[in-house]
Structure 1
Amino acid sequence: MTVSWAAFRAAEPEFADVVRARFAAFQHHVLATLRPDGSPRLSGLEGDFRGDELWLGMMIGSRKALDLRRDPRFSMHANPGTGTGMHGGDVRVSGRAVEVSDPEEFARYAAGAEQGEAPERFHLFRAELSEVVRVTIEDPHIVFQVWHPGHALRTIRRADQDSTVLEDV
């Protein structure tokens, strides 16, 4: 099951705002797609929030766009930044990339770009989410926040030295 960013935000508004802020902290992120042989491909990408959607724009004919056309499953990891602090946590979203083919929807997206920002031709995908994960350190615990469509946000705290779940809220 996948849902739009808007549906995710409606279900978990505070968590969605934290995740979006983490992506907004840097322009470039890492996109994982599947190659024709099923092996993973990692590529740089600028995730773009416009309206209440997460968009993935790519150069015409890029390998990552061709991967998504063939198999729409993806995962996008927010840029961890510099140093070891990872302010805001380690964040990733996974799901399916739905290619935009409707000229009106494509034009609405392009119209929201700043002057000269959007190229004339590009692939555009709308992210449909199946999982959102945030990992933070709250010494002495590693804290996992995990959300799936149709389920409440789940928080798991684990001790650094032990894989035992200490709390699962």
Structure 2
Amino acid sequence: MTDYEPTSTRNLDRYGNGPLPWSRARDVLTADTPAADLTFFVATVRPDGRPHSAGVGAVWVDDVLYFVGGPGTRRSRNLAANPACSISVRLRGIDLVLEGDAHRVTDLDVVARLAEVYRSGGWPATAEGDALTAPFSAPSAGPPPWHLYRLTLRRAVGVATEEPHGATCWEFAGD
């Protein structure tokens, strides 16, 4: 378990609201993945510097965000060349952007455990070696097998969409 805690917190709110606690975003991620119907988007950088964004199947497990991508997808090719990325999601009561580096997970035990997590949320994933397979996935994932990626969190920005309102940037040391 990583148990990320911010090394610094900066209040971005211009309307007099205090900083949001990191636990607000973390607790919703913990409670709502993988069961809630959340849409995550990963943004990567192409070799020529242009941005690329795609929807991903993501889950928050033990204070770490994991997501999938086929080896031939633009996001996987981009991450192989440059692991820097951001992932955005609209959660209950807070919009969240996570920034860091994403690296492929090849530990067979972790891949098997994440397959179980995805299955508990309704996606019938199975581990086949160091990748995931299933009868179906989102079109943006490419054909199976799918690689599993782990985000090393460096920074997050949250904007509350319900009371108490506010906007906050959290910085993390990463691994």
Tell me the TM-score normalized by structure 1.
0.66
CA deviation after TM superposition for structure 1 residue 112, in Å: 3.5
Cα 1:15–1:50 change in 2 (3 A) is closer
Measure the CA separation in 2 of the matches of 1:23 and 1:75.
18
- Where do 1:1-150 residues align within 5 Å? 6-8=3-5, 12-18=22-28, 20=30, 26-79=37-90, 88-114=93-119, 116-118=124-126, 119-120=132-133, 121-136=145-160, 143-149=166-172
Amino acid at match of 1:16: R
Cα 1:54–1:134 change in 2 (3 A) is same
Measure the CA separation in 2 of the matches of 1:27 and 1:89.
12
Structure 2: segments with no counterpart, 5+ residues: 9-21, 127-131, 134-144
| Alignment length (residue pairs) | 139
Q: Is the 8 Å Cα contact of residues 29 and 45 (structure 1) preserved in structure 2?
A: yes
Task: Write out per-residue CA displacement over residues 134-161 of structure 1, whole angstroms, 9 at most, x where no aligned residue.
Answer: 113689xx732111015xxxxxxxxxxx
The structure whose Rg is larger is 1
CA deviation after TM superposition for structure 1 residue 7, in Å: 2.0
Which protein, 1 or 2, shows the higher relative CO under an 8 Å CA cutoff with sep ≥ 6? 2
> Secondary structure, in 3 states, of the residue corresponding to 2:5?
helix
The answer to which of 50-59 and 11-20 deviates more is 11-20
CA deviation after TM superposition for structure 1 residue 126, in Å: 0.7
Amino acid at match of 2:155: E
**Percent sequence identity over aligned pairs:** 26
Q: Is the 8 Å Cα contact of residues 99 and 154 (structure 2) preserved in structure 1?
A: yes
In structure 2, what is the equivalent of residue 162 of structure 1? Answer: none
Structure 1: segments with no counterpart, 5+ residues: 81-86, 151-169
The answer to which of 108-117 and 96-105 deviates more is 108-117
Measure the CA separation in 2 of the matches of 1:135 and 1:23.
19
RMSD, aligned α-carbons? 3.2
Q: Is the 8 Å Cα contact of residues 19 and 134 (structure 1) preserved in structure 2?
A: no
